[in-house]
Structure 1
């Protein structure tokens, strides 16, 4: 069997965890998290990280990779995730990527040359300061002056991407737009990419319940501990949904109910953006929970994991 790579993506709260655990147990697989928050040590509840029991059931990778103080790029994820995938395959196991960070998935499965762009943390931090003092438009104008093609494609409010484009140009001397997504799949793997979905009402209600469960599990205490360690809103790790809103509450900027409502609202908005990403990905196939039961979804995924499918 070729180097099979199964991907179970989908919006936050859609129910990826239990399906991925069951699939891994049935196929002898191991899970690679593709979640931009689960990489951080100590950020467990707000990121819905696999708990001890789930990690005993199935081996997990790409969890607790760095501390919340450390920078971590898409390029870093690609390098570490591919190393984990290759190691799993070398042992005759099935790697199963699970999560909702679409850019992390694409970095692994697609031929993305922009990951070669390099990094300069001090430069990046200087541009972040400039954005706070002069505004996003000023930083976007900087990009337009050195790379008009990239500036045309990247919205001024997508500050993270604008800064990344400037950083690549600064480090390499080449415009960010020259590091193109070729659209080709990574030839190392036989990729089978699926994303879960369900009707909007059920998805949003599930997200709201999930926020309440996280609060009951001690999300606020987790964030108090992180804050006491010296983390604040200036760190990328603390900008994740759930963390930044509760940090605002702890800083006296809003009430607890207002913070919870914001977490729910922003989580629903994020889920909507995630679904848009997956729908627009030519390699991703939807598996709707309105159309299939969890067992039927597992049977479909199991066929691909075991190679019991017709060659496309």
Structure 2
């Protein structure tokens, strides 16, 4: 059994998908997606989900796991990752984790879930506040309970804000105090060795790739996909509906922005996300090797062994 978990990361648009498939083919690996959106069936074009051909070439785990309207938490992902890595390594294959979300990637290095029980009354309180005042109201209440700040909490993510508020209300502790206590725990993957490669590109190259990818998404039917997903209930899932590419398209279909502005906003927001991801990865994930890509998608050596 191979006790190493190989992790390929980097900002959105850098080229992880094709490089991962090529490396997996050469090195006898299967791929475990580390992405909070690829788990949803139907969110294909806007997430740049690996193609059918890529998934035919190499077995992928963590993709199309749940229905669009289902809740999916980091705890659910940890369970999936544990089962997938065990399955892959029992076959004698290597496990290659691929993703750009440091929030999800952190589960391979530190604890990310706890067993805190949230009283039903607290859940109902937060849901009432969300219904009445939305995300802004949740953030305002959370800020009131945390006068020293919210640390690295993504205040644009409705699910994370709601969960943080529930935990603060249930425990009577601040976000930072809860985090300190939590980090004293142990990662479920602590017994594995990890090898981490971060893919990089120049800002100009990454911007060009993001622009090209966005145009390709538009041509591939992003608007049609989102229109269909609205009929399937995407708006009832804050994580899915607020994802880049989807929230802008929903705004377009609501008549809030023009088609020309739609493409520009997706590009602008994706570039901002890529910068944020790279900063978070470098800060939160122990990188063993950085590979600066120029041009082609084949990289023979990704990991130091």
**Measured at CA, do residues 155 and 39 of structure 1 come closer, stay the same or move farther in structure 2, by a change above 3 Å?**
closer
Q: 1:212 aligns with which of 202, 212, 215?
A: 215
Q: 2:292 aligns with which of 285, 288, 292?
A: 288
The match for 1:103 is 103
Q: 1:273 aligns with which of 265, 273, 276?
A: 276
Moved more, 203-212 or 75-84: 75-84
- Secondary structure of the 2:209 match is helix
1:28-177 equivalent positions in 2, closer than 5 A: 28-107=28-107, 109-112=108-111, 114-117=113-116, 122=124, 124-132=126-134, 135=137, 138-144=140-146, 151-153=149-151, 157=155, 160=158, 161-170=160-169, 176=175, 177=177
Distance (whole Å) between structure 2 residues aligned to residue 14 and residue 227 of structure 1? 29
The match for 1:23 is 23
> What per-residue deviation string (whole Å, max 9, x for no partner) do you get for residues 227-262 of structure 1?
122332763211110011011111111111111111
Figure out how many residues of one structure are paired with residues of the other and give that number. Answer: 296
- Secondary structure of the 2:6 match is strand
Q: CA deviation at 1:157?
A: 4.0
Distance (whole Å) between structure 2 residues aligned to residue 293 and residue 156 of structure 1? 34
**Measured at CA, do residues 234 and 131 of structure 1 come closer, stay the same or move farther in structure 2, by a change above 3 Å?**
farther
When normalised by structure 1's length, the TM-score is: 0.85
Q: Which runs of 5+ in 1 are unaligned?
A: none
Q: CA deviation at 1:293?
A: 6.5
- Secondary structure of the 2:284 match is coil
The CA RMSD over aligned residues, in Å, is 2.7
**Measured at CA, do residues 236 and 134 of structure 1 come closer, stay the same or move farther in structure 2, by a change above 3 Å?**
closer
The answer to whether structure 1 residue 203 and structure 2 residue 206 are counterparts is: yes
8 A contact 1:13–1:207 mirrored in 2:
yes
Distance (whole Å) between structure 2 residues aligned to residue 216 and residue 10 of structure 1? 25
> What per-residue deviation string (whole Å, max 9, x for no partner) do you get for residues 168-197 of structure 1?
244567665334324976323111111101
Q: CA deviation at 1:22?
A: 0.7
8 A contact 1:131–1:138 mirrored in 2:
no
**Measured at CA, do residues 16 and 227 of structure 1 come closer, stay the same or move farther in structure 2, by a change above 3 Å?**
same
Distance (whole Å) between structure 1 residues aligned to residue 216 and residue 5 of structure 2? 32
**Measured at CA, do residues 172 and 261 of structure 1 come closer, stay the same or move farther in structure 2, by a change above 3 Å?**
same
> What per-residue deviation string (whole Å, max 9, x for no partner) do you get for residues 286-309 of structure 1?
21114x9754x42243xx5xxxx3
8 A contact 1:136–1:159 mirrored in 2:
no
The match for 2:194 is 191
**Measured at CA, do residues 134 and 209 of structure 1 come closer, stay the same or move farther in structure 2, by a change above 3 Å?**
closer
The match for 1:231 is 234
8 A contact 1:69–1:235 mirrored in 2:
no
Q: CA deviation at 1:10?
A: 0.8
- Secondary structure of the 1:153 match is coil
**Measured at CA, do residues 228 and 294 of structure 1 come closer, stay the same or move farther in structure 2, by a change above 3 Å?**
closer
8 A contact 1:118–1:172 mirrored in 2:
no
The answer to whether structure 1 residue 244 and structure 2 residue 242 are counterparts is: no
8 A contact 1:114–1:181 mirrored in 2:
no
8 A contact 1:30–1:59 mirrored in 2:
yes
8 A contact 2:75–2:112 mirrored in 1:
no
**Measured at CA, do residues 62 and 55 of structure 1 come closer, stay the same or move farther in structure 2, by a change above 3 Å?**
same
